[in-house]
Amino acid sequence: MSDEALAYDTALRIVLDASGLLRAENCVVTACLGRILATPVISTVALPPFDNSAMDGFALRGDSIVAAGSELSIEGQQAAGDGMAHAGGGAWEIMTGARMPEGLDRVVPVEQTKRLTATRVRVLADVTPGQNVRRAGSDVTVGEHVLAAGTVLQPQHVMLLAALGIAQVSVIERPRVAVICTGRELVDDPSRALAPGHIRNSNGPFLAARLPLAGAKVVHAETVGDDADAFESALRRALDAGAKVIMTSGAVSMGRYDFVPQALQRFHAQTLFHKVAIRPGKPLLFARLPDDVLLFGLPGNPIAVAVGLRFFVEPALRVMFGLKQETPCRLPLSKPYAKKTRLRFHLKSRLHVDTHGQLAVQVLEGQESYRIRPLADANAWAIVPADVEALPAGALVDVYSLGHLEGALPCGGAP
């Protein structure tokens, strides 16, 4: 393994090649939010299951148009939830969603009628065949593919599955992920006063919040000091918890307390790369432990952690889910941007509509890897390639959403 920093594309290919598709499992629909379908959903029923009224009114029938002014006897009534009824003719009082009586084929809204007596009604407007009737199967037909494999299940999908009477679906199991933060300066307890030189641990809460949004299950999380033995014990606890992906923050650079690379050797890990030509996050380490457990050693700065998760871990999760890799949007910069060459930059950015009504991307102030506030204001990541030094306003750049499962960007980039 070379000491030279790898190009991003080369490092990413190593990560993707080391990742594998996970198994499918059944999941009840009431608990499937955010899960990823392993197989397509094919409807065995029609939706609606029967012809029903779209209005409160009167169900009628006729050879063509029932003309305004027609007077009809009221032969029955049909409410939502009533079973099949057989109509010989006349008008049937009907409620929204009620099954159409057999033999009737249209509905006149109640406001377009005048009730003459308890048993007679006058139609005040022409009524054509099929008017205000929701036909069986007009939404979903029997045998229709309603959801494709790879769909990230959202509330609207749960609504559809519930309407079709589907109790469970086949989904890809959640990757089991452990998070280990290192640093004797870190304080986890927000109620604890900070001693001189200490800081709050922001990486742990960020990863614990972001990983479930990325489709993973956090099975273990802890913080250890700058101590190799403590780190190795934490690593064992992560493995005992069944983690198949381990994310660490800190202790991967070149300082006295950067012990992660050496600790991994004692676990018989294969370090696949250490250092990538990116900013932030250049010291990023990627290793494979026994039993194909993947370890992402991220630098300790918060934005380096965010970049490592978004642009290395989440692509690996997509392989595990059987999803295609993302296609970024190409959007114009609202202002010029300049950087040094040799490193690919991942920039905290914000999408906005410019003065011409076009979608554009603004690179936010405060791109240093320690600055968290700009990330809180960001709604996207903009990418400037390693070999680019300066870009004018209007230059097109690749833009990614904050998370790979958070839906397509307004410009249509694939989730």
Residue 270 burial class via C-beta count within 10 angstroms: exposed 0-12, middle 13-18, buried 19 and up: middle
Q: Tell whether 391 and 298 lie within a shared domain.
A: no
| 408 vs 332: which has the higher pLDDT | 332
| pLDDT score of 253 | 83
Q: Is the pLDDT of residue 261 over 70?
A: yes
The yes-or-no verdict on residue 98 having pLDDT over 60 is: yes
pLDDT score of 256 more than 90: no
Instruction: Calculate what percentage of the chain has a pLDDT beyond 90.
Output: 92
Same domain for 198 and 225: yes
- CATH code, domain carrying 178: 3.40.980.10
DSSP class of 152:
B
Among the ranges given (10-24, 224-238, 250-264), the one the predictor scored with the smallest mean pLDDT: 250-264
Contact call for residues 92 and 107 (beta carbons, < 8 A): no
Question: What does the pLDDT average to over 155-179?
Answer: 98
Q: What is the per-residue pLDDT for 89?
A: 87
The pLDDT, as a whole number, for residue 341 is: 85
Least confident of 60-64, 213-217, 366-370: 60-64
Could you tell me the CATH number of the domain that includes residue 157?
A: 3.90.105.10
- Report pLDDT for 3: 66
Specify if 405 maps to a domain: no
Between the CA of residue 413 and those of 330, 365, 405, what are the distances in Å?
A: 8, 25, 12
- Tell me, yes or no, whether 111 lies in a domain: yes
C-alpha count within 13 angstroms, C-beta hemisphere, residue 373: 2
pLDDT band at 406 (very low <50, low <70, confident <90, very high): confident
* Domain assignment of residue 36, given as a range: 26-47+141-172
Q: How confident is the model at residue 413 (pLDDT cuts 50, 70, 90)?
A: low
Q: Are residues 199 and 337 in the same domain?
A: no
Residues 290 and 359 reside in one and the same domain: no
353-392 pLDDT, tens per residue? 988 899 999 999 999 999 999 999 999 999 999 999 999 9
Q: According to the model, what pLDDT value does residue 164 have?
A: 98
Give the chain's largest Cα–Cα span: 95
Q: How far apart are CA 389 and CA 338, in angstroms?
A: 6
Residue type, 240: D
Q: What is the CATH number of the domain that holds 393?
A: 2.40.340.10
Which pLDDT belongs to residue 1? 52
What's the rounded Cα separation, in Å, for the pair 398 and 411? 11
**114 occurs within a structural domain:** yes
Same domain, 282 and 202: yes
Domain stop point among 264, 292, 321:
321
69 and 199, same structural domain?
no
**Of the residues 265, 298, 321, the one at which a domain ends:** 321
**Distance between CA 355 and CA 352 in Å, rounded?**
10
**397 touches 391 (CB < 8 A):** yes
Are both 194 and 257 inside the same structural domain? yes
Output the pLDDT for position 355: 87
Q: How far apart are CA 381 and CA 358, in angstroms?
A: 18
Within a domain: residue 412? no
Of the pLDDT bands very low, low, confident and very high (cuts 50, 70, 90), residue 286 is: very high
Q: Provide the domain count of the chain.
A: 4
DSSP, collapsed to helix, strand or coil, labels residue 315 as helix
Q: H/E/C letters for each residue in 43-74?
A: CCCCECCCCEECCCEEEECCCCCECCCCEEEE
Give the closest residue to 118 by CA, choosing from 79, 81, 91, 84: 91
Indicate the pLDDT class of residue 62, thresholds 50, 70 and 90.
confident
Asked if 154 and 182 sit in the same domain, the reply is no
108 with 188, same domain: the answer is: no
Last residue of a domain, one of 277, 293, 321: 321
Chain centre to alpha carbon of residue 49: 31
Question: Is 233 in the same domain as 149?
Answer: no
Backbone angles phi, psi at 346, to 5 degrees: -115, 110
Q: Specify if 81 maps to a domain.
A: yes
186 and 292 share one domain: yes
End-to-end CA distance of the chain: 33
Which amino acid is present at 368? E
**What is the band of 326 on the pLDDT scale with cuts at 50, 70, 90?**
very high
Residue-averaged pLDDT of the chain: 95
Bond preceding residue 40 cis, omega within 30 of 0: no
Closest by CA to 115, choosing from 66, 58, 55, is 58
Res 108 pLDDT > 70: yes
Q: Which two tokens stand for residue 48?
A: 């609606």
Residue 201 contacts residue 184 (beta carbons within 8 Å): no
> What single-letter amino acid sits at 236?
R
Does 188 map to a domain? yes
| CA distance readout (Å), 163 to 15, 79, 361 | 40, 20, 40
Contacts of 54 (CB under 8 A, 6+ apart): 96, 107, 132, 133, 134
410 inside domain: no
The candidate with the shortest Cα–Cα distance to 133, out of 60, 237, 70, 182, is: 60
Classify residue 23 as exposed, middle or buried by CB count within 10 Å of its CB (0-12, 13-18, 19+): exposed
Residue 348 falls inside a structural domain: yes
Residues 6+ apart with CB under 8 A from 209: none
Strands 337-338 and 270-274: unpaired
355 and 228 both lie in a single domain: no
Does residue 112 surpass a pLDDT of 60? yes
Model confidence at 88, pLDDT cuts 50, 70, 90, reads confident
Q: State the pLDDT at residue 4.
A: 87
